[in-house]
Structure 1
Amino acid sequence: MDVFDSMRVYVQAVEKGSLSAAATACGISATMAGNHLRTLEKRLGMQLLQRTTRRQHLTAFGEDYYARCKEILRLVAETDAQAQNLQLAPAGKLRISAPVSFGTEALMPALSVYLARYPEVSVDVALCDRVVDLVEEGFEAAIRIGALPDSALIARPLAPYRLMICASPDYLARRGTPATPEDLSQHDCLSFSPAALVHWRLTDTQDDICRVPVSGRLQVNNGQALRVAALHGLGIVLQPAILLQADVQAGRLVQLFANHTLPSRPMSVVYLPDRYRSPKLRSFVDFLVERFS
């Protein structure tokens, strides 16, 4: 017999005043209640109750054992409740990957809200612009920008990644402000890589698409570095709005072609299907969808 079940029967017998009342309270037969008591007494080598046909009395040891059983059962119940809460409440370390610009400018400010909401969770963020392998590199989730290939990963869509074209007031004062998208071909355009300096595509209010050939003397493989280059007047930059919009609002950069639509890129959070049962991962994915959709 389970010793904790036997303790529960004994506690009920003491509090209800009889084994038959304890049996009713525990949903078992009177015979089974008696078996539980005899099992405890045999285990302890001590008598717990002195029973007559009319009433029962606690022995001196039985009185002390009753108090100890109450405390033990209370601790067991609290531990069970704590274990259940840990299964339901997000807790533990969460390792995620995110693109550098999005992670720096958008995810970091949002994490202050997430970590305050879930104080038992810690987050290890790796910022990189390459596609990480969740299994091989031990990530539980990754934020990815662009079309996703077919895979075994589960993807939750986030708001598209918007782009913006900007230049510093100093650059525009020296080189002039392009009046039409076609004028960009006469300017120094900053790029993440040489491959990105082929065409910039814009759509006007009439839904007419304009593909402009662009070129430039500076390429940098980091979005934040391109922002700094634009701030210092080195050229016109095409980068995510989250990276440039604060500078536009402060007047450090000027947004160009605000009446045109630039192509946006899909953004998703991806994770392995079997990991979603984890409360910490589920809480993080749901938070991203809430915050960035």
Structure 2
Amino acid sequence: MNQLQSMRVFVKVADLGSFVGAAGALDLSTAVVTRHVADLEARLGTRLLNRTTRRLSLTESGSTYLERVRHILDDLEGVEQMVVARNHEPVGTLRIVAPVVFGLHSLAPVVQSYAARYPDVMPDVTLADRQVDLVEEGYDVGIMVTRHMRSASIVTRRLTTGYMTVCATPAYLAQHGTPTRPEHLLGHPCLSRPSEQGGDERVFTGPEGEVRVRPSNAIAANNTEMLRQFALLGMGVAILPSYLIGRDLASGRLVPLLGDYRLPQIEITIAYPSRLHLPAKVRTFIDHLVEYFQPGQPSSRDRSATASAFAVTALDPAHDLPEADLHSEAVRPVRNAARTRSAASVSASSPI
């Protein structure tokens, strides 16, 4: 028989002084209750109860055993209650992983608003420009591109769709001209991370259909924040995630280009290790992310211009993939004027 159940039965028999009383309290038959106590005594090799026709009494060993068993069962109940509470109430440490530039530019306000809502949760944020195995490395939540999941046990939830933005400084365009078609990029130095598939080829979709070009990079860099700095210095035409340059577009420091064309989109997802018995801290953080990044939600309307250029990025360092259009209030006028997706968005390039 189950040893813990036998211990519970023994405690109930000792408290009530009766096998029949314990059987009624535990909704068991008297024979089953008797068997549990007998199994305990056989396991321990000692008598725990003195039995007479009129009453039961504890032996010396039974008294000692009862005292210790009470502590064990109380501790076990406390642990179970703690685990249940952690699964139903948002408490404990929440381990989050995201790419570096996304974390530096976009993640902090989301975490701050979540922590304010759930003060018993302590966010533990890791920024990593590499593929991450959530299960092996013990993360609760990751922000990444679905197709780069490395574990079959990973569960994903769609957050938004991503795009990239072609842009340059007004001074650069005044000196070198404004490209209006993807082919025009061949005459300009390009600032972007290379795509893993197809080398540096870029595939645009426009009025005439698909257009493929292979612009030449002006300089190599493994970080899109560095490429942004180069773009602001007028070193060429940049292809960058708009969440990174949302404020630059809104202020006019950078100008969105090729408004009639769009680079391939990609689905940006939240990832977590399992759907079974999902802890409340994970469930509420996922819901908070979705609420925060979906257009029309109160949280998105309440953002400041600085905090509005948010997005989600992938964890794959080999890709420079599209970022999500999040309908940022800060950049909507620029986007509408240029007929391009220049809203706060998501890059799927990991080292960004």
TM-score (norm. length: structure 2): 0.57
Distance in 1, matches of 2:239 and 2:287, equals 30
**2:155 counterpart of 1:147:** no
Could you list the per-position Cα deviations for residues 206-245 of structure 1 after superposition, in whole angstroms to 9, with x for gaps in the alignment?
Answer: 3611112200230111111111111111111111111112
Structure 2 residue identity aligned to 1:127: L
Structure 1 residues 231 and 285: alpha-carbon distance in aligned structure 2, compared to 1, 3 A threshold? same
Structure 1 residue 181, shift from structure 2 partner:
1.6
* More helix per residue: 1
Could you list the per-position Cα deviations for residues 129-173 of structure 1 after superposition, in whole angstroms to 9, with x for gaps in the alignment?
Answer: 311122322212211125245722111111012211111112212
Judge conservation of contact 2:228–2:238 (CA < 8 Å) in 1.
yes
Matched position secondary structure for 1:147? helix
Structure 2 residue identity aligned to 1:257: L
Judge conservation of contact 1:140–1:275 (CA < 8 Å) in 2.
no
Report what 2:51 is aligned to.
Answer: none
Report what 1:31 is aligned to.
Answer: none
Report what 2:200 is aligned to.
Answer: 198
Could you list the per-position Cα deviations for residues 12-38 of structure 1 after superposition, in whole angstroms to 9, with x for gaps in the alignment?
Answer: xxxxxxxxxxxxxx9xxxxxxxxxxxx
TM-score (norm. length: structure 1): 0.68
Give the 5 Å matches for 1:163-242: 163-193=164-194, 198-204=200-206, 206=207, 208-242=209-243
Judge conservation of contact 2:191–2:217 (CA < 8 Å) in 1.
yes
Give the 5 Å matches for 1:1-293: 83=82, 85-145=85-145, 147-148=147-148, 151-193=152-194, 198-204=200-206, 206=207, 208-273=209-274, 277-293=278-294
Kindly tell me the number of residue pairs found equivalent between the two proteins.
235
Moved more, 225-234 or 133-142: 133-142
Mark the runs of 5 or more structure 1 residues left unpaired by the alignment: 7-25, 27-38, 40-78
Could you list the per-position Cα deviations for residues 240-284 of structure 1 after superposition, in whole angstroms to 9, with x for gaps in the alignment?
Answer: 111112100011100001232222222111121167521111111
Structure 1 residue identity aligned to 2:131: V
Structure 1 residue identity aligned to 2:192: S
Bigger radius of gyration: 1
Distance in 2, matches of 1:155 and 1:139, equals 14
Judge conservation of contact 1:275–1:281 (CA < 8 Å) in 2.
no
Judge conservation of contact 2:87–2:278 (CA < 8 Å) in 1.
no
Structure 1 residue 103, shift from structure 2 partner:
2.5
Judge conservation of contact 1:194–1:219 (CA < 8 Å) in 2.
no
Percent of residue pairs bearing the same amino acid type: 37
Distance in 2, matches of 1:143 and 1:270, equals 6
Structure 1 residue 187, shift from structure 2 partner:
0.2
Matched position secondary structure for 1:220? coil
Judge conservation of contact 1:93–1:121 (CA < 8 Å) in 2.
yes
Matched position secondary structure for 1:257? coil
Matched position secondary structure for 1:107? helix
Structure 2 residue identity aligned to 1:246: R
Structure 1 residues 88 and 257: alpha-carbon distance in aligned structure 2, compared to 1, 3 A threshold? same
Structure 1 residues 194 and 271: alpha-carbon distance in aligned structure 2, compared to 1, 3 A threshold? closer
Judge conservation of contact 1:162–1:265 (CA < 8 Å) in 2.
yes
Matched position secondary structure for 2:147? coil
Matched position secondary structure for 1:164? strand
Distance in 2, matches of 1:267 and 1:200, equals 20
Judge conservation of contact 1:197–1:216 (CA < 8 Å) in 2.
no
Judge conservation of contact 2:168–2:234 (CA < 8 Å) in 1.
yes
Moved more, 124-133 or 139-148: 139-148
Judge conservation of contact 1:145–1:161 (CA < 8 Å) in 2.
no
Judge conservation of contact 1:184–1:214 (CA < 8 Å) in 2.
yes
Judge conservation of contact 1:165–1:239 (CA < 8 Å) in 2.
yes
Distance in 1, matches of 2:103 and 2:131, equals 14
Could you list the per-position Cα deviations for residues 80-108 of structure 1 after superposition, in whole angstroms to 9, with x for gaps in the alignment?
Answer: 9x856554210111111112233233322
Structure 1 residues 185 and 93: alpha-carbon distance in aligned structure 2, compared to 1, 3 A threshold? same
Distance in 2, matches of 1:207 and 1:114, equals 45
Distance in 2, matches of 1:242 and 1:98, equals 14
